[in-house]
Amino acid sequence: MAAVAAALLIVQNGHSTGVEWLWFDFEMPQWLLLAITLVIGAIVWEAAKLAWHRARTRASDRHQTLSTARRRLGRS
């Protein structure tokens, strides 16, 4: 559903637009600018999910290691 909405948004925005970013100043089709923005957003989203998953896994591993150590020492 999101891909269809993105495709429609891209198709409807065919005119050229000016882009000023840092020291770059150029013209490009608005659909291309939107497509680049969507790709960068997807990459950032996946990187955030990966970082969150790694943090949760590491926290779980630390908790499990601590629980094992406490059991071996006779503490609960």
Query: What is the C-alpha separation between 65 and 31, in angstroms, rounded?
Result: 51
Give the total number of structural domains in the chain: 1
Domain annotation covers residue 39: yes
Domain annotation covers residue 53: yes
Of residues 50 and 15, which shows the higher confidence score? 50
Domain annotation covers residue 17: no
pLDDT attached to residue 49: 94
Query: Could you read off the pLDDT of 18-41 as tens digits, one per residue?
Result: 888 888 898 998 888 888 888 999
In angstroms, the Cα distances linking 27 to 5, 19, 21, 46, 65 are 24, 6, 11, 29, 56
Give the global pTM: 0.61
pLDDT attached to residue 40: 95
Q: Containing domain of residue 8, as a range? A: 2-12+30-73
